């Protein structure tokens, strides 16, 4: 459980022993763990450096485990400081790159091959975002689309602005509306319109997009684009699409029929709307008719305009 913080599996096993039973000696830990005495002493030394265990005064030498909540929080804070220092070091290392190479085409593009490598590169881009992440989202997906992206909550918790534009077909997938609803409640700004490709832009300084133009194929290769005219064009594309896209759940407290209005404005067919809302197609027809009558609209297009004027979109 603590490997992400640099604590190895065997070290964590000793820490757990000390959590269950206070004040064990190195000899007792050696006997219970089945490991060598030297290996146990090395583990105790590493755990003490991490602040997870401490020695009791007196003889024989005994060790106790620190409370997991306070110890792990301190360890996380230290790791964050180390990462911040590493980030600063990376900027200093950039100075070692000759000036004539900083803007060469081969330094502005990176090609990533393999589905797992692409997913890892996207996660790295996402985790490195400090101010704003811009995303164009459309099927197909490499991961299960019914599962939330854990990295999004981390970004929002860190105060990163997250804006996503979803293709209408993304809203047709089972459970998609529920996930988008939860993301918006957590702070994401979501809109929907036809998007030409998958795209993620981090802090307007780097982007990742599919290497091929096949909209229906899985992403097995990708381009990572750094500061360049191509990146400027991708940012401009996102901004243009954002201005014409329809907001999805613009406020956490949705008005009555806001889900129906959103799906209608996104251009979904009645069958897809019925699947998302968990109702029959007949009920969709009835609720749509009632909505149009309430808005004083004769067509769905007029209903969309009226809904926008009344703040339902």
| CATH number listed for the domain at residues 258-309 | 1.10.10.10
Tell me how far apart the alpha carbons of residues 203 and 303 are, in angstroms, rounded to a whole number.
37
Q: Residue 208: which of 190, 225, 191 has the closest Cα? A: 225
Q: What is the pTM of this model?
A: 0.56
| CATH number listed for the domain at residues 1-95 | 1.10.10.10
Q: For residue 137, what are its two tokens?
A: 């989202």
* Residues 6+ away with beta carbon under 8 Å from 188: 152, 156, 162, 163, 164, 180
Residues 49, 43: contact at Cβ < 8 Å? no
CATH number for domain 108-247, candidates 3.20.20.140, 3.30.870.10, 3.30.70.20, 3.30.1780.10: 3.30.870.10
Residues 110, 187: contact at Cβ < 8 Å? no
* Ranges for all domains in the chain classified under CATH 3.30.870.10: 108-247
Task: Residue 133: count other Cβ atoms within 10 Å of its Cβ.
Answer: 23
| Per-position b or e across 200-211, b if 16+ CB within 10 A of its CB | bbbeeebbbbbe
Tell me how far apart the alpha carbons of residues 58 and 84 are, in angstroms, rounded to a whole number.
39
* Residues 6+ away with beta carbon under 8 Å from 193: 165, 167, 168, 241, 244, 245, 246, 266
Tell me how far apart the alpha carbons of residues 185 and 171 are, in angstroms, rounded to a whole number.
17
Give pLDDT tens digits along the chain (313 positions): 677 667 888 888 888 888 888 888 889 888 888 889 999 989 888 888 888 888 887 788 888 888 777 777 777 777 777 777 776 676 666 667 666 555 555 557 888 888 888 888 888 888 889 999 999 998 877 666 667 777 788 888 888 999 999 888 887 777 777 788 888 888 899 888 888 889 999 999 999 998 876 666 667 888 899 878 889 999 999 999 998 887 776 544 445 577 777 777 767 778 877 877 778 888 888 888 888 788 777 776 666 666 666 666 5
* Ranges for all domains in the chain classified under CATH 1.10.10.10: 1-95, 258-309
Tell me how far apart the alpha carbons of residues 138 and 198 are, in angstroms, rounded to a whole number.
6
């Amino acid at each position: 459980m603590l490997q992400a913080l640099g604590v190895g599996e065997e070290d964590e096993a000793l820490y757990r022993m000390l959590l269950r039973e206070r004040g064990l000696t190195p000899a007792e830990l050696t006997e219970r763990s089945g490991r060598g005495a030297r290996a146990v002493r090395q583990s105790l030394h590493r755990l003490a450096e991490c602040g997870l265990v401490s020695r009791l005064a007196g003889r024989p030498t005994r060790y106790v485990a620190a409370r997991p909540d306070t110890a792990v929080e301190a360890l996380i804070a230290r790791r964050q400081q180390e990462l911040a220092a590493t980030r600063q070091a990376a900027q200093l290392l950039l100075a070692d790159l000759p000036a004539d190479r900083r803007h060469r085409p081969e330094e502005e593009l990176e090609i990533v091959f393999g589905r797992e490598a692409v997913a890892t590169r996207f996660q790295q881009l996402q985790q490195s975002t400090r101010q704003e992440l811009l995303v164009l989202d459309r099927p197909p997906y490499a991961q299960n689309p019914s599962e939330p992206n854990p990295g999004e909550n981390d970004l929002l918790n860190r105060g990163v602005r997250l804006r996503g534009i979803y293709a209408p077909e993304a809203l047709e997938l089972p459970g998609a509306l529920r996930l988008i609803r939860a993301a918006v409640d957590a702070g994401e700004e979501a809109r929907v319109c036809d998007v030409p490709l998958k795209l993620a832009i981090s802090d307007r300084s780097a982007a990742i997009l599919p290497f091929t133009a096949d909209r229906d194929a899985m992403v097995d290769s990708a381009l990572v684009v750094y500061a360049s005219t191509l990146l400027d064009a991708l940012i401009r594309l996102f901004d243009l699409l954002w201005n014409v896209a329809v907001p999805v759940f613009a406020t956490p407290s949705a008005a009555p029929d806001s889900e129906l209005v959103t799906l209608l404005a996104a251009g979904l067919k009645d069958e897809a709307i019925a699947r998302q809302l968990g109702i029959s197609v007949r009920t969709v027809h009835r609720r749509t008719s009632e909505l149009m009558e309430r808005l004083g609209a004769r067509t769905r297009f007029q209903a969309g305009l009226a809904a926008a004027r009344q703040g339902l979109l």
